[in-house]
Amino acid sequence: MTDDQLLRYSRHILLDEVGVEGQQRLLDAHALIIGAGGLGSPVALYLAASGVGHITVVDHDLVDLTNLQRQIAHTTERVGQAKAHSAALAMRALNPEVQVHALTERADAQLLNTLVSGSHVVIDCCDNFETRHAVNAACVQHRVPLVSGAVIRLDGQVTVFDARAHTSPCYACVFPPHQAPPEVHCATMGVLAPLVGLIGSVQATEALKLIAGVGTSLMGRLQMLDGKHMAWSELRLQRQADCPVCGADAH
């Protein structure tokens, strides 16, 4: 670690739980962020600021004026640009040491199979169930921890699925593919801007903890935020033996 890095990350290094070794793990890590919107923005900025050495951001969408109410990685000047590239610009401006790879593609099974296998942690910041299930399947296959978050209207949720642990449920255990609820989108339902920052910040925290080996993750615990009353609640999650993705008959 260089003198500049020791200074830049000094507030991490001062933490007994992180120290020089933990910060070095962050510098050596590769994080994969799926989605550069409301959740992906704070995740990308905090991971870059924290010194995660290699970050890949995947998003096929373009920056729209309606995004700017909550997607803080983007600016008015970058309306019409690819979200992945816009987020990469913000990350590099914050920390030019970080290697950022921006992909303007849909996160389909083939692409995810390649990207997830080379990642230390995946942060799912997308906005549709099809992609979430594809991300989950790739993480289970390659045994890579997945930090999952979602926000709509004034409600949010966040958890960790860690396929390295035999007791961990996966996304399909909690949200079976054949029981997917109707899709809801911000464009029709709305979302209170800071809530994506709250959930995205928790996602970034969990990702950093997983990489640095700090504390206990949210594995097996779904944290739910009622933003209207600012109340958190927790639901315990169990692995399902008949899960089509991680169950005994899935392999």
- Rounded Cα distance between 192 and 226, Å, is 12
Residues assigned a catalytic role: 186
- Residue 138 tokens, joined: 């790739």
Q: Are 112 and 131 in contact (CB under 8 A)?
A: no
Return the percent helix, strand and coil in the chain, to nearest 5.
45, 20, 35
Helices 83-94, 40-50: axis angle to 10 degrees equals: 30
Gap between the Cα atoms of 164 and 190, Å rounded: 36
Any residues with CB less than 8 A from the CB of 188 and at least 6 apart, and which? none
Q: Which tokens belong to 134?
A: 């594809």
